[in-house]
Structure 1
Amino acid sequence: MFASNGEYCVLATNLSQLYDLRGKTSQESSKFEEVVSENLDLKPRFLSNYLVGDEDNGNIFNNKPDSVLKESVLEAYLMKLSLCKGRGDIRDGTIGEEIRTFYGTTFTESLTSTVEYDVCRTIFDDFTKLSGTWGNDFVDHGTKEIVNFCRFVVIEVFSGIFVHHISPLPLNFMKLSDAMIYIFHEKKVSDEKQLRDWIDFVSANVSEDYLKGLFKPIFMKLRTLAIDAKCYRHINFTNMKCMNKDLRWLPLILLTRLIILGAETKSRFNLVDVLCSMENFKIKFLGNSNHGYYECMASYLGPFFSLGIFENGDTERSPELKKMFGDVGIERVEKNDVFTQIRNSYDEIRENLKCLTQVLVCKPSTRKATTRFLVDAIGANYCRGKLQYSRKDNMGSSFTTNLVYVVVYLAAKVKLERLDYNYLAKKQCAFDLKDLTRINMNESAIPQYCETIEEGEEVTFNSLIFYIALFAIHIGYAGLINDYNTTKREYEYLKKDLNKHRAAFDKHRGSGIVSGDLVTTYMSYKLMEEQSSVVKYTLVLQMTLLHDLNINKVIYSLMDKWGMYLLNMIHPDAKLNHIPAQPNDMFKNLPEFMVDDLLATFQLLTTSEKLASSSLVFVQRLMSVLSVSPQYFRAPFTYAKLLEVIVQCWSKASSSVSQQYYQQILMSPGVCNKITPVLIKYYCDVESTGADTEFYDKFNIRRCIHFIFERFRESSSQKGMLVTAMNGQSNEIQRFANIVISDVSYLFDEVVGGMKKAVKLEKEIAAETANSNEADSSSRRLQFEEVKRGVSTWIYTLAESLDLLKKLTEYAHKIFLDQLIGEQLAALMNYNLTELSPPNHVHFESPTLVKELNFEGRNLVTKIITVYNCLSMADVFSKYVAADERSFTPEKFAVILKGLKEQMNFNGAIHEKFSAFVKNASVHYALKIEDEDFGEEIPEEFIDPIMGNIMLDPVLLPTSGQICDRKTIITSLLTVQKDPFNRQELTSDQLVPQDELRVKVENWICEMRAAKAAKLVADQEME
C-alpha cells in the first residue's frame, strides 16, 4: 500500500486474516496502547518486546519487522478499535445538530454518539499523539522510528476500514465520511496543525489509488452537503444576525482548506490531483443548450459555485426576502443590516472559491482540467448572454457572479504582451462563437478570415484565462446589469401605478361610505401591491448580487486591460494618437458583446459604484477612438450605446476631475476636429436602424446628441466647429436640419395634441361621474390614462428638441433660410403657435393635469417666439411664414399678438420684435395672395400627388414612375432616402427632370397671370 516508501511495503497485510485471529490476541499485543500513550518510558519496552534483530545497530529498520511483529501490532490496534462504542459527547452532539440545521437530513443525526465517530476519532487522536511524539526534538531517534512505524500502522488500518470496508465492527460507511468531515472541521477550527500533519503524512506515503480511496468519499459528501444546503437558513430572520458563522459554508470552506493543505505537501500526487480525478469533475453536456442548470449541478464544483443566500440566484424567493426586508423601501435597502450580512456572506463564499480555483490552476497537472471546467461552465450558460432565456434551466446569478469574481481575479494579473490576439479566430478556440454577432463581419466572411490565421502553439493559460474572464462577464455580469435596469424601470412604473391605486382607495375610504367602489379600489390596490412586491424583491436580489463593492473592485482592476486589448485589436497604434479609417479584421471578427459589455460595466462602476473613472486611461482612449468611428460597427446600436454611456456618466460626474475625463473623450486631439460632422451624420442615419423599435430608439439616441451639443456650447472651439458645420451647404446639413424640424413637429403633435385630448377627457369623466354614469366613465378613464402616458413619455424629449432647434437658429441660422428647410420650419412654428396661444390656450387649462404632466404652455410659446425672432433679420423667412396657407393669416396673428400681451403677459423686447416680424410677414402675405390666385381649374397633370400644389419643377421617380415636385420629394428624401410610393431606395441624384412638363406649367402660369392682369385692367376701365 505505501508505494512511495519501500521500507514499509511489508505492512501491506491482508487485514481480513487478522480479523479472524482476534480471539488469539497475544499477550504482548495488548501493550500497543503503550505506544500511543503519553508515557515515553514504556516505548523502549515496546521496542524490546516486538523488534527482532540487533538492538545495538543504531537503525532498527535495517532489518524489517518479521511477520509476527507485523501481525501482532495490527492485531493489537484492531482489538483496540473493536472496543469502540460511541462517545456521546453532549457538546459535540450539539454542534452536530447545528450542522444538521444547515444541511438537513443529509448529515448524520447525533453523529458523536455513533460507533463510526468513535472509531474515526480514536484513529485520528492516536495518529495525533504519535505525530506529536515523533516531532518532539527531545525524543531519541530509536523511539521516533518506533512511533513512525506505528503511524503507518494507524493509517493502514484506517485505509483498510475506509477503502476496503474491512472493519472489526459493523460500520455504516456513509457515517464514516460524516465523522471525518466533522473531525476535519473541528481540527480546522481548533488545531489546524494536527490536520496539516495528517494530510502531509498520508499524501507523502500512501499510493495514488489509496489516496483517492480515502478522500473521494469525503469530497463527494462535501458536494452532497453543498447541494442540500438551505442557503436562506443562514440568515436568522428573528434577530437579523447570522447563525453559527463557522458552519455557514462548511462544505466549501472545508474543501478549500483541505485542498490548500494538500497543495502545500511535497508529494507529486496530492489532494489537488484527487479532486481533479473525480469522475464528475468535468461538465458533461446533454446536447441541449437549455440544460445549463442540470449540466453544471451534475459536475463536482457546480454546487460549490452556486452557493449563496438565494437558491439558484435568480429564483424569486419572495417569502425569505420579505422576512429579511419587510417594508423597507428600495432606497434604504442597501443601508439595512441584513443587506450587509448578505454581502459579507457572498464575500466569504467568493474568497474561498478564489483560493480553491487558484490552487487548482497553479498546479500544472490540474490546470488544464480546471480551465476546461471554467470554459464549459460558461458554455453551459451561454443562454444567459441573450435577452430572453429560460431561467429555471440555467444557472442563476449566484453561480455566475461567483464565477465572474474568481476568473476576473485571475485574469487581472494577465500580461497583455503575452496574449494571443488571434485566439478567437483559431480552430483550437475553446469557445463556441457560431451564434454570436460579430462587430463588423458577415457570417460568410468569418470562415475566410479564420483560414488566414495560423494555428501556432497551444494556447497558454495567460491567454485562456483572459478570454474566460471576458466571456464570464458577458453571461454573469453584463446580463445581470441588463436585468437590473429592466427590473428597475418596471418597478418604477409599478410604483407609480400603486400610488395611484392607493390614492383612489384612500379617496373612497375617506368618504366614509361603504360601496362597491370602495371594495373595487381596495382589491385593485392589493393586487397591484402584490405584483409590485414580487418585482421589488427581484430588484433587491439583483442589487444584492450587483452592488457588491468587492466584486466590482475586482472587475474594475481588469477594465483598463480590457480597454487596451480592444485598442490593440483595432490597431497597434490606436492607443496613441492614431485613429484608423477602418479597424483590423481581428477587431471586426470580435463578438459584439466585448464592446457592449465594457460600456455597460464601465457605466455601472463609475456611476452606481462611484469608482473613479479618471484612472481608466485606456478605456477613455478607446471611447475617444470609437466616438469618431461609427463605421467600425455593423449595428448602429453599438455606437448609440457608446454615446448613451458617455452622456449618462458625464451628466452624473460630480467632481471637476470626472467632468474633465468625459470632456476629453470628445475633445481630445485628433477627435475634436472630427466629432461634430460624425455626430451630425449619425443623427441623420439613425432615422432608420432596421430594428422593430427604431421609431422610438431614434429619439433616445438623439437625446444623447442633444446633451453633447449642449456641452459643446460651453467650449468655444467646439461651438465654432458646430457653427461652421451648420453654415455649410452639404446635403448632410440639410438632412440634419430637416430631421430636427421633423422630430419637433412629431413631438409637438404628440404632446400638444395629447394634452388637448387629456383635458377634454378629464372634463367628460367629471361630467359622467357627476351624472353617475359609471360604465362610460370607466371606459374613458382607461383612454384618459393612455393619453396621459403618451404626453408624459414625450414632453421632456420635446423640450430638449425644441431647445436644440432654438439654439441652432440662434448661432447657425443660414441653413434655415434655405427654401426647403425654411418653409418647413415656418409651417411648424405657425401651427403650434396658433394651437398654444390665445384664444386656443383655454384648451390646455386643467386644475390637475398641467402640474401632473409638467405641461408648461407659456414656456413652449416663448421658445417658439424666440425661433421667430432669431430668424427675423432675414426678410426671406418672413416670406416663408407668409407662404404657409394652413396656419398664417394677418388677421389670425393679430389676434394672437393681442392675446399674448393681454392674457399671457408677454411684454418688452421679445413681444415688440415679434410684432414687427408679423407685420413684415403680413405684407408678404398680401403680395402672395395677389400673385398666386390661379383659380380652381388647375390641370390635374400639374398637381403634385403628395402635397396637392402646382409642380414648379417636376421630376420623375424612377423607382415608382411617379412625377412629383422636386421640392416635395427632396424634403421627403432628407428624412428617409426611400421612394414614398413603394419604399424602394432612392436618392436625389436619381431624380429625372421633366423639362417638357415644367415648360408647360410655366407657360400655363404665365397665361393665368396675363389673364388675371387683363381682367384687372378691364375692371379698372369699367370703374
Structure 2
Amino acid sequence: MTDKQIREVFQITSDPNNVSVEYSVLPLHDDVNAKYTKEDIDSILLTQLTENESLQKPFAYLNDCMKRCQQQKKFNTKNNELTDVFQEIDRLVIGYGLVAFQVQAFAINGSFKQYIIDIVNEFDQYSNFLLQMIHRAVIEDSLLDLLNSVFPILIDYIINDLPSFDLTSPKIYNNVLSIFEMFVNFKQVAAIFTKVEGFFPSFDCPANRFEKVTTLGPILTLSPLMFNVASNNYGGSLELSKQHINMVHDSSQVEHKAVLDRLFFILDKIIRGSVDSRTDVISYWSMIVNKNHLRRGEHGEQNKLATNSFMTNISLLLIRFSQPFLDITYKKIDKIDVNYFNNISVFIDLTNETRLNSDFKEADEFYDQNKSDQDCKPNFISDCFFLSLTYLHYGIGGTLLYDDKISPQIKRLKEELARLNEALNDNSSRSILFNNAFVKSQVTRLEKSLQYMSCLKNAMKGFFTNRTLQLEIFDFVCGASTFLMRVIDPTHSYPFAPLNLPLIPDQVGIENVDNADFLRKHAPVPFKYYPEFCVEGPINYALYISKYGASPLFRNQRLNSFIEFATAILRCPELVSNPHLKGKIVQLLSIGCMPLVDDSPGFMLEIFEDNELVSKNLLYALLDFYVIVEKTGSSSQFYDKFNSRYSISIILEELYERVPSYKQQLIWQSKNNKEFFIRFIARMLNDLTFLLDEGLSSLAEVHNINRRLKNEDPNHTNNDNPNDGSESNSIQDLQSRLASAQRQAKSSCGLASKSMQLFVIFTKNIPGAFVIPELVDRLACMLDYNLESLVGPKCGELKVEDPDQYSFNPKNLLKAVTTTFINLSDEEEFINAVARDGRSFDKKYFVRATDILGNRTGMVSVEFCEKLIKFTDVVQKKRDIEAEEDMEYDDAPDEFLDPLMYTLMKDPVTLPASKVNIDRSTIRAHLLSDSTDPFNRMPLKFEDVIPNEELKKKILDFKLKKKQEREAK
C-alpha cells in the first residue's frame, strides 16, 4: 500500500511501458515490479532533483509533492504505517527545499531567482511550503542562511526585473508583502532580520538609492505618491472632473491605509524582535534622513534625493510607533529624554542644523561638557520620538514643500500653453510652416510636463486630504508640542503641573527689542540647543494642512496643546530666535481666527477664550511680536514684517470684536503698560503711513500706465517724467512696469486696509493712546495727507479698472480715515497736532469727504458729517491762532530749533554720543522706531539723553520776551 502513495506523491513509476505525461520513470530497483518503500524516499527525491532533466522547476516540484502528501494524509488518517511514511516525506521534502534555496547548483534547472519568481507570482500556492521551511530553519539554526537566500534575490527581482512594483500591480505587491509578513511573524526571524545581506546599504550609498538597494526599500515606497501610481490614477486627461478626482482620492486613501497597516505590522515585528533589530531599524531610518536634509532646501534636486513616497511612508510609520507614549493621557511622556541630544549615541546628524537660540559653537561646547556616560544610551521611546520629529520636517515636510513648488509651475505651464495655443489659432501670427510645427512640438512637450505635474499634484492632494492619516500626524504634532513645553518648563514637570509665562521678565524698553544677546543668554536649557527643525517641522505642517477642508486642526480636542505651545513661543522671545518661524505661527493663528463660511467665529477662538494659559498671554505676545518683527535679519526684512503684522491685525481685530476679555486686556495695557503699548502704536503708525503711501502711489502708477497703453501712440513722451531720458517707453516696458505696480498696489492696499481698520477700532475705545506727544503729530500728518490723496485734486489718478483686485475700496478707506478723525476729535492734543500740519490740512477736503460719504453714497449719517465739520472748524481756529504765534518766532536762533522737525524746542536734551541738541519728544519718537542716535547711528537708550536746562531756559526767555512784545503792542 505504501508504494501507491509514494508513486502518487512523487509522480513516479518504475515501469517505462506504463507511464502518463505527469509521471517520471524512476527505476530504483532491478525488478520493475518492485515496490517503493519508506527507505526509498530520500533516493527518489535526490534522483528527481539532481538527475531528472525534464524537471523544469525543482522547487515547484517539491511544493507540489508536499501538497500531494497533505492530500494523501486526509485519505489515510488511520493507517499508522502510512503516517510514518508521510512524516518522512514531509521531513525530506522540506529539507530538500531548504537545500534547494541554499545551494544554487543543487538541483538540475534550479535557480534561486526562479524560485522567487514562482513564489511572488503564486504566493498562495507556496505559502504552506514556505512556512514549513521557515519552521525547519528555526529548528536547524539555519535561519540567516535562508534569509540571505530569499531576500537579496527578492529585492533584485523587484528592482531589476519587474516592470513596475507599485500599487498598480496589486497582486505582485500584495504577495511580496505577504512574504515579508510570513517571515517576520516568526520572532526568531524578526530578531535577526536586520542582519540580512542588503538590509543596510554601503556607506557611500546616495540619498536616492536607499529605496532601491536595501531590503526594506521597495516595500517602504509603496504609496499613491509614486509617479507611476499617480499617472495611472489621475492621468486620463489634463482636465478631470472634480467628482472623478474625489472618487480616485477615496480609493487610493483606502488602499494606502491598508498598505501602511501591513508595513507597520512588518516593522513592528522586527522592532520587537530583539534589541539589535530595534536599534538597527532606528539606525537605518536615521541614515536615510541624514542624507536627505536637502529635501527642505530651496534648490534641492529631487532626482538626487529620496522620493516623497519613501520618506512619507517612513514618517507615518514612525508616528504610529510614537502614538503610545504621546496619547492624550501623557502617562509615558516622562520616558522621552529631555536631554536626548546630550547622548553620545544619538543617531540624528546635527552637524549643520540651526539651533533654536544658540550658535553652533555654543551648542557644541554645551554637548561636549554635558555628554552622558558611554554606557547610558537613549531608550527606544526617545530615539523614536526625535526621529519622528526629524522625519516630520524632512520627510512629510519635504513633501509639502515639493507641493508648494510645483503649484506655481503648473500655473506657468497653463499660461504658456494658453499663449501657444492662441498663437496656433491666430492665422495672422503664423509665419512659415516650420515655425508652426515648432510651436506644435512645444505644445506637446508642455502638455506632457503639465500632465506629469498635475498627476503628482492630485496625488499629493489625495494624500493630504486623507483625514485619517492627517489626524495621526497632527496628534503627533500636538503630543510633540506638549513635550516641547515640558522641555521649556524649568522643572520639566509640564503637563502635570502648570507652566507660568513669561519665563523671564519682559524687556519693555524699545532699546531692548533687538537685544538678541540678552535673550540668548536667558533662553532655557536644553531647549535653546535643540535643532530648529523640532519646532519648524510641526509649525510648517500645521500651517500647510490648515488650507485643506479636511484639515485635522478642525474639531480637534488636542488643538489646545499646539496653541499653548504657539503662544509660549510668541510670549517668550528668548525661546526661538528665528522671526520667520514666529511669522508662520501668527499666520496660522490668523487662519484659525477668520470667520467660517456661515460667519460663525473661527475654529480657534474658543480656545483663545477658554484656555487659561492662552487667554492670559496671547494678547501681550501678539503686541510684542508686532514690534519685534521689525527686524527679521534677512535682506527682505523691510517687507517681511508686513505679512506678519497683517496676520496679527486679523487676530487682534477678531479678538477685539468677538472676545470681550481681550478688549478689556487691550484697554488695560494702554492705560497701565504705556511704555509697552506706545511701542505697538508707533509700529502701527509707521506701517500704515508707509503702506497707504505705497498703495495709493502704486494705484496712481497703474492708472497712468493704463492710460498710456490705451493711447493711440503708447510710445509718446512720458508726460509723468518727460525729462527722464533713461526710461524706456516701449509697450513691453510699460507692461512690465504695469505688472510691477499692480503687484505692489495689491500687496500694499490689502495690508493698509487691515491696518486702517485696527486704527478705527482702537481709536474709538482707547483714543488717549494715540495722542501722546511722540506720536500725535505723525498721526495727524498721515491722516491729513491720505485724506488729501482720496479727495484732493489728484484723486482721479486712483481710478483703476477692477479696484477689488487690489483690495482697494476708496469709499471704505475714506470712511475709515474720517472715522479716525472723529474718534480723536475730542482729544486736545490731536486737535493741536492737526492744526500744526501745514502741509496737507485743508478744510475743503473735509467738506468734500462729507459730501461723498453723506450726500452721494449715504455711507454715514448726518450726525457724522456735522461732527466732522465741527472738528474741522475747531482745528481751523486753532490753526489761525498758532499761525500768529509762529510768526512771532520767525527770528528764533537756529540753536532753538529742533534739528529734525525745525520747530521751536520745548524740552531740549543733548544726545550723549553726537552731542546734538534735540527736543525730548522728537528723540523719543525716533527711538520708538530705531534704537540709535539719528546723527551718528550709535546705539542709544532714551534714559541716556541729557536734559539741557540751560538751553531750555534760553528758549523760555525768548518766548517770554516775544510775549511781552506782543502785549506791549
Does structure 1 residue 832 correspond to structure 2 residue 786? yes
Which residue of 1 is the match for residue 24 of structure 2? none
Does structure 1 residue 402 correspond to structure 2 residue 323? no
Matched residue of 1:335: which SS?
Answer: helix
Which residue of 2 is the match for residue 760 of structure 1? 704
Distance in 2 (CA, whole Å) between partners of 1:480 and 1:850 is 37
Distance in 1 (CA, whole Å) between partners of 2:141 and 2:765 is 85
Does structure 1 residue 598 correspond to structure 2 residue 551? no
Which residue of 1 is the match for residue 517 of structure 2? none
Matched residue of 1:412: which SS?
Answer: helix
Output aligned runs, 1:565-584, within 5 Å: 565-571=483-489, 572-575=492-495, 576-582=497-503, 584=524
Distance in 2 (CA, whole Å) between partners of 1:144 and 1:530 is 65
Which residue of 2 is the match for residue 683 of structure 1? 626
Does structure 1 residue 354 correspond to structure 2 residue 264? yes
Matched residue of 2:909: which SS?
Answer: strand
Whichever residue aligns with residue 33 of structure 1, its letter is R
Output aligned runs, 1:931-942, within 5 Å: 931-933=885-887, 939-942=893-896
Distance in 1 (CA, whole Å) between partners of 2:535 and 2:262 is 31
Which residue of 2 is the match for residue 57 of structure 1? none
1:607–1:652: 8 Å Cα contact kept in structure 2? no
Which residue of 1 is the match for residue 158 of structure 2? 226
Q: 1:805 to 1:432 in 2, by over 3 A?
A: same
Distance in 2 (CA, whole Å) between partners of 1:707 and 1:800 is 7
Matched residue of 1:955: which SS?
Answer: strand
How far does residue 657 in structure 1 lie from its aligned partner after superposition? 11
Q: 1:225 to 1:727 in 2, by over 3 A?
A: same
Output aligned runs, 1:516-595, within 5 Å: 536-571=454-489, 572-575=492-495, 576-582=497-503, 584-595=524-535
Whichever residue aligns with residue 328 of structure 1, its letter is L
Distance in 2 (CA, whole Å) between partners of 1:233 and 1:443 is 43
Which residue of 2 is the match for residue 921 of structure 1? 875
Percent identity between the aligned chains?
17
1:574–1:580: 8 Å Cα contact kept in structure 2? no
Larger Rg: 1
1:309–1:342: 8 Å Cα contact kept in structure 2? yes
Distance in 1 (CA, whole Å) between partners of 2:634 and 2:568 is 26
Q: 1:751 to 1:726 in 2, by over 3 A?
A: same
Distance in 1 (CA, whole Å) between partners of 2:473 and 2:848 is 64
Q: 1:29 to 1:989 in 2, by over 3 A?
A: same
Q: 1:205 to 1:134 in 2, by over 3 A?
A: farther
Deviations 1:941-977 (A, max 9, x none): 4554434444444433334454443333222211222
Q: 1:1001 to 1:703 in 2, by over 3 A?
A: same
Q: 1:996 to 1:748 in 2, by over 3 A?
A: same
How far does residue 38 in structure 1 lie from its aligned partner after superposition? 12
Output aligned runs, 1:105-254, within 5 Å: 116-117=56-57, 119-131=58-70, 138-167=77-106, 169=108, 171=109, 173=111, 176-183=112-119, 185-186=121-122, 188-189=123-124, 192-200=127-135, 202-208=136-142, 211-228=143-160, 245-248=170-173, 250=175, 252-254=176-178
Whichever residue aligns with residue 817 of structure 1, its letter is V
2:913–2:938: 8 Å Cα contact kept in structure 1? yes
How far does residue 867 in structure 1 lie from its aligned partner after superposition? 0.5
How far does residue 865 in structure 1 lie from its aligned partner after superposition? 0.6
Q: Please say which of residues 856-865 and 542-551 is displaced more in the overlay.
A: 542-551
How far does residue 767 in structure 1 lie from its aligned partner after superposition? 0.5
2:148–2:196: 8 Å Cα contact kept in structure 1? yes
How far does residue 474 in structure 1 lie from its aligned partner after superposition? 2.0
Distance in 1 (CA, whole Å) between partners of 2:626 and 2:380 is 44
Q: 1:833 to 1:353 in 2, by over 3 A?
A: same
Whichever residue aligns with residue 574 of structure 1, its letter is Y
Whichever residue aligns with residue 203 of structure 1, its letter is A
Does structure 1 residue 323 correspond to structure 2 residue 238? no
How far does residue 800 in structure 1 lie from its aligned partner after superposition? 0.8
Whichever residue aligns with residue 643 of structure 2, its letter is N
Which residue of 2 is the match for residue 460 of structure 1? 379
Pick aligned residue for 1:369 from 273, 280, 284:
280
How far does residue 833 in structure 1 lie from its aligned partner after superposition? 0.3
Q: Please say which of residues 910-919 and 586-595 is displaced more in the overlay.
A: 586-595
1:942–1:950: 8 Å Cα contact kept in structure 2? yes
1:184–1:195: 8 Å Cα contact kept in structure 2? no
Distance in 2 (CA, whole Å) between partners of 1:153 and 1:191 is 17
1:688–1:694: 8 Å Cα contact kept in structure 2? yes
Distance in 2 (CA, whole Å) between partners of 1:731 and 1:692 is 29
Does structure 1 residue 436 correspond to structure 2 residue 353? yes
Deviations 1:63-100 (A, max 9, x none): xxxxx9999644332333467566xxxxxxxxxxxxxx
Deviations 1:428-469 (A, max 9, x none): 222222322333344344345443464464333233222222
Distance in 2 (CA, whole Å) between partners of 1:642 and 1:130 is 68
2:910–2:945: 8 Å Cα contact kept in structure 1? yes
Whichever residue aligns with residue 764 of structure 1, its letter is R
Does structure 1 residue 966 correspond to structure 2 residue 920? yes
Deviations 1:518-548 (A, max 9, x none): x99x979969988876664553343244333
Distance in 1 (CA, whole Å) between partners of 2:451 and 2:891 is 68
Does structure 1 residue 985 correspond to structure 2 residue 924? no
Q: 1:300 to 1:534 in 2, by over 3 A?
A: closer
Matched residue of 1:613: which SS?
Answer: coil
2:539–2:581: 8 Å Cα contact kept in structure 1? no
Distance in 1 (CA, whole Å) between partners of 2:691 and 2:413 is 25
TM-score where L is the length of structure 1: 0.78
Does structure 1 residue 791 correspond to structure 2 residue 732? no
Deviations 1:717-742 (A, max 9, x none): 22112112123462222221121111
Distance in 1 (CA, whole Å) between partners of 2:268 and 2:302 is 29
Which residue of 2 is the match for residue 97 of structure 1? none
Which residue of 2 is the match for residue 883 of structure 1? 836
Does structure 1 residue 976 correspond to structure 2 residue 930? yes
How far does residue 860 in structure 1 lie from its aligned partner after superposition? 0.8
Matched residue of 1:691: which SS?
Answer: coil
Pick aligned residue for 2:583 from 640, 654, 662:
640
Pick aligned residue for 2:399 from 466, 476, 480:
480
How far does residue 812 in structure 1 lie from its aligned partner after superposition? 0.2
How far does residue 645 in structure 1 lie from its aligned partner after superposition? 2.2
Q: 1:554 to 1:676 in 2, by over 3 A?
A: closer
Distance in 1 (CA, whole Å) between partners of 2:366 and 2:952 is 54
2:691–2:752: 8 Å Cα contact kept in structure 1? yes
2:586–2:647: 8 Å Cα contact kept in structure 1? yes
Which residue of 2 is the match for residue 78 of structure 1? 46
Output aligned runs, 1:949-964, within 5 Å: 949-964=903-918
Pick aligned residue for 1:801 from 744, 755, 759:
755
Which residue of 1 is the match for residue 723 of structure 2? none
Q: 1:410 to 1:970 in 2, by over 3 A?
A: same
Q: 1:720 to 1:873 in 2, by over 3 A?
A: same
Q: Please say which of residues 703-712 and 991-1000 is displaced more in the overlay.
A: 991-1000
Does structure 1 residue 748 correspond to structure 2 residue 692? yes
Q: 1:892 to 1:260 in 2, by over 3 A?
A: closer
Deviations 1:894-914 (A, max 9, x none): 566567666666661221111
Does structure 1 residue 696 correspond to structure 2 residue 639? yes
Q: 1:604 to 1:793 in 2, by over 3 A?
A: closer
Distance in 2 (CA, whole Å) between partners of 1:818 and 1:830 is 18
Distance in 1 (CA, whole Å) between partners of 2:9 and 2:417 is 79
Q: 1:165 to 1:664 in 2, by over 3 A?
A: closer
The runs of 5 or more residues in structure 2 that have no matched partner are 14-26, 30-35, 326-331, 504-522, 718-727
TM-score where L is the length of structure 2: 0.82
Deviations 1:98-151 (A, max 9, x none): xxxxxxxxxxxxxxxxx542x221111113333555688824444333333333
Q: 1:624 to 1:909 in 2, by over 3 A?
A: same
Q: 1:633 to 1:168 in 2, by over 3 A?
A: closer
Q: Please say which of residues 759-768 and 958-967 is displaced more in the overlay.
A: 958-967
- Size of the alignment, in residue pairs? 897
Which residue of 2 is the match for residue 282 of structure 1? 200
Distance in 2 (CA, whole Å) between partners of 1:254 and 1:677 is 57
